[in-house]
Structure formats: structure tokens, C-alpha cells
Amino acid sequence: MKNDKCTVLNFTERLGGKWKLPIINAIRKNETLRFGKIHQIVDGISRKVLTEQLKALEYDVLIIRRQYEEIPPRVEYSLTNKSRGLCEVFQAIDKWSRIEDK
């Protein structure tokens, strides 16, 4: 049972909070996204918080930040293999959310 608790704690430490899962879900649905588009899709998040959350997700190797040497600068975010493993979880959440309470 101790190992089960550790895996759940690891998950919540890396993905807990209000914004990380919605950010990953937005990127998952679109393959790659730029900052402004993520800000549009993730309803209610401030630009400051989005910046912080993207940095944290990149630090935890859950997203890839790719900066292009262009003018104006262009940065795109995509999922790592680790976060792609969450796709089945998102599909299960989507299915669960559509079940009507009886």
C-alpha cells in the first residue's frame, strides 16, 4: 500500500493544482500550441500564472518548449512522451464527465 500512496503523491506533486492538467489537455488536443493560444483555450488563467505553470511543466519534463530563431520570436509547446501517457487518463475523465448522475 505504501507504493500506491507514493505514486499518487508523485502524481499530485507534479500535476496538482488548478492549471497544469487543463494546460496539458489543451496541448494534447492540438499537438503544439503557442503561448497566446494556450492562454485563449485555458479559460480564466492569467498570463503570469500561465508562464509559471509552463515553466514548472517544462522543469518536470512534461512539456517541451521550442523556441524558433525568428523575428518576431516564436515559441511552441508540445507534450513529452511522459505526458502523452496521460492521454488515456484524459479520455477516461472525458467519458466519466459525460455520465449523468442518477
Virtual torsion, Cα 43, 79, 74, 41, nearest 10 deg: -10
- 18-98 belongs to which CATH class? mainly alpha
Q: 14 pLDDT band (50/70/90 cuts)?
A: confident
Mean pLDDT of 21-33: 93
Q: Which three cell numbers stand for residue 7?
A: 505514486
How many C-beta atoms lie closer than 10 Å to residue 84's C-beta? 14
Which residues, 6 or more positions from 20, have their beta carbon under 8 angstroms from its beta carbon? Answer: 14, 53, 56, 57, 62
- The pLDDT value recorded for residue 1 is 45
Mean pLDDT score of the chain: 89
